[in-house]
Amino acid sequence: MKTQQIYIGKAKLNVQVARTGREQAQGLQNVNNLDKDEGMLFSYAQTKNLAFWMKDTTIPLSIAFADENKKIIQIEDMMPLSDKSVKSNEPAMYALEVNKGWFKDNGISVGDLIKMKDCSNKSIKIGIVKQKNIGKNSRVESVEEGKSDICV
């Protein structure tokens, strides 16, 4: 699982990013300790109603649901080992799990934005060459340039 730094207000977190179904299903199950400024960010391809439970999770957590703009739309506390689902009240694209109370301790509330690392210096210029084949000869017909963001 990829690790990334994120920022919410003045707070910085190191998070593992769960993108695949397998990573999301595993979550923080069987994790016995989470450092003060660590968490897990669940990233989905599209917004949807999300539901989380604490099966096999022994540490108390808080969860924030965020929309496609990474704006926090809901914060909830979750109890260890509970099989009760904590659901987003509206469709979300991200969920962020941290130690219970982390959001409150850092003055983070609904409406705050989750910011990923700055990717502006990590873009690459790409060129797409379109080639036309004429029998044994070929020639370049056009070159298109673009920019590709390589930040994940």
Question: Residue 1 — pLDDT band, cuts 50, 70, 90?
Answer: confident
Supply the pTM of this predicted model. 0.77
**What structural domains does the chain harbor?**
2-116 (2.60.120.1140), 122-152 (no CATH)
pLDDT greater at residue 112 or residue 137: 112
* pLDDT value, residue 149: 36
Cβ 39 vs Cβ 96: under 8 Å: yes
Give the C-alpha distances (Å, rounded to integers) separating 45 from 34, 74, 101, 121.
26, 19, 28, 24
Give tens-digit pLDDT for 84-113: 999 999 999 999 999 999 999 999 999 999
At 88, phi and psi to the nearest 5? -75, 140
- Would you call 104 helix, strand, or coil by DSSP? helix
CA 101 to chain centre: 20
